[in-house]
């Protein structure tokens, strides 16, 4: 019995020792694992502390991506800023020049087309090179409890100019300077009486005759609705009249802001808008003391056709809205007795843009404007303008384009005389 029980007791002892060793090893492993976890947690705390230190110091130097595409955050703020613009070089040949150092040789201005035999006959075949259309803008967007607060400040180089003999210096000109929050906009931008989205795609900076084209200070409210939006604005008034002598005069006697309205629709058949204008034309001077009510109506459209092609149009009628045609006609006329008379005006444009390929496109744009002037105006007063633009534009890479354009313009005056200009323009544009 002794020999038989000894191995049994020895086996029990071995099992006990083994269990003790395994338990000890397990405890040791658990302690090591706990120690490792403690070290990892300590290291994580150090990393978090370092990140917090870096985050506290970063706003003074760091520039990060903004909330809007292409924007960046202003360091230390929630404002997203976007900087952009382009550099544009234009080379123009005109068979008839508007005159010495005239801006009309740099962009199409129908009022400067010479009319009558011998007018500017010694200034033919004019070559002009310039970069005045180049522009720069900065936009910002800042979130608030009332919606995003947005600003837009933009300049080009069509301010007052120097000579063309040495430096070719040109001053900056404000194009846009406005802010908005929600539906409220205040500042200078496109008039609410026009639809800039319908304007033709031309290389020429002047664009076709018969287009409404104004930027001015205003306060505007825009309200979206299902399928579009409506907007109403009070805009800067400016009376420009033609005296009985034939001279134009700016009458700084305006007392009522111009009232404009627009309703825009987005449909599956294109984008359309209807515009309206009510204004007072007023003069108080030694020549006359009088005022009249003017009005204007407009219809615009961008109609998609095949592929990326589109047909654009704009038609306007009005009474006393001369300066809204880009200054082509007068807002009113003073007769011999000092009374103010307004002129009915009708104008419009139509264009078709065709894409030959994704990189190559052409636009044909036609424009016309007619003013039914009072019968007492002088024979040299303009009453009809016509224009045509035809171009070919190549855009091999984003924000860059090269193109050529033919421009025809015609001006007719009350006496029946008329003049024409033929122009060829080449342009190189680099955006940023």
* Per-residue pLDDT reduced to its tens digit, 116-134: 877 776 678 999 999 999 9
56 — phi, psi (to 5°)? Answer: -70, -30
pLDDT tens readout for residues 238-277: 998 888 877 777 777 889 999 999 999 999 999 999 999 9
pLDDT tens readout for residues 12-70: 545 454 454 445 445 555 566 677 777 777 777 776 676 566 555 555 557 788 888 88
Are 315 and 362 spatial neighbours (Cβ–Cβ below 8 Å)? no
pLDDT tens readout for residues 385-400: 999 999 999 999 999 9
Are 102 and 113 spatial neighbours (Cβ–Cβ below 8 Å)? no
Are 176 and 189 spatial neighbours (Cβ–Cβ below 8 Å)? yes
Round to the nearest angstrom and report the end-to-end CA distance of the chain: 103
Most confident region among 167-181, 282-296, 326-340 by mean pLDDT: 167-181
Banded pLDDT at 1 (limits 50, 70, 90): very low
Run of H or E residues at 107: none
For residues 429 and 420, what is the distance between their CA atoms, to the nearest angstrom?
Answer: 28
Are 372 and 345 spatial neighbours (Cβ–Cβ below 8 Å)? yes
For residues 139 and 153, what is the distance between their CA atoms, to the nearest angstrom?
Answer: 6
pTM of the model: 0.83
């Amino acid at each position: 019995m002794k020999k038989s029980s000894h191995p049994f007791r020895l086996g029990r002892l071995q099992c006990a020792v083994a269990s003790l060793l395994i338990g000890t090893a397990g405890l040791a492993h658990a302690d090591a694992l706990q120690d490792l976890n403690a070290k990892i947690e300590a290291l994580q705390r150090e990393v978090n502390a370092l990140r917090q230190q870096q985050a506290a110091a970063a706003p003074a130097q760091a520039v990060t991506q903004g909330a809007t595409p292409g924007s960046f955050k202003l360091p230390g703020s929630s404002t997203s800023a976007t900087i952009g613009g382009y550099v544009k070089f234009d080379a123009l040949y005109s068979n008839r020049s508007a005159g010495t150092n005239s801006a009309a040789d740099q962009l199409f201005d129908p009022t400067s087309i010479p009319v009558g035999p011998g007018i500017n006959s010694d200034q033919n075949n004019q070559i002009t090179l310039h970069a005045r259309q180049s522009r720069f803008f900065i936009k910002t967007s800042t979130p608030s409890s009332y919606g995003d607060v947005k600003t837009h400040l933009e300049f080009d180089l069509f301010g007052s100019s120097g000579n063309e003999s040495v430096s070719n210096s040109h001053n900056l000109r404000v194009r846009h300077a406005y802010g908005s929050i929600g539906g409220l906009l205040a500042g200078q931008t496109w008039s609410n009486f026009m639809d800039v989205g319908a304007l033709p795609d031309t290389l020429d900076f002047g664009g076709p005759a018969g287009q409404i084209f104004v930027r001015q200070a205003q306060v505007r409210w825009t309200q979206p609705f299902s399928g579009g939006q409506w907007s109403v604005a009070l805009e800067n008034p400016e009376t420009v009249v033609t005296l009985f002598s034939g001279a134009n005069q700016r009458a700084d006697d305006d007392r009522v802001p111009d009232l404009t309205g627009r309703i825009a629709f987005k449909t599956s058949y294109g984008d359309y808008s209807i515009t309206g204008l009510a204004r007072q034309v007023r003069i108080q001077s030694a020549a006359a003391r009088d005022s009249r009510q003017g009005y204007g109506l407009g219809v615009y459209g961008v109609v998609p056709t095949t592929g990326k092609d589109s047909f654009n149009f704009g038609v306007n009628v009005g009474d006393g809205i001369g300066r809204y045609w880009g200054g082509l006609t007068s807002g009113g006329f003073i007769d011999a007795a000092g009374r103010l008379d307004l002129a009915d005006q009708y104008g419009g444009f139509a264009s078709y843009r065709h894409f030959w390929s994704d990189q190559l496109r052409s636009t044909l744009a036609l424009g016309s404007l007619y003013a039914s002037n009072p019968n007492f105006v002088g024979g040299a007063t303009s009453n009809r303008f016509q224009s045509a633009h035809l171009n070919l534009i190549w855009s091999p890479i984003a924000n860059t384009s090269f193109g050529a354009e033919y421009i025809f313009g015609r001006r007719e005056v009350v006496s029946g005389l008329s003049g024409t200009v033929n122009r060829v323009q080449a342009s190189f544009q680099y955006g940023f």
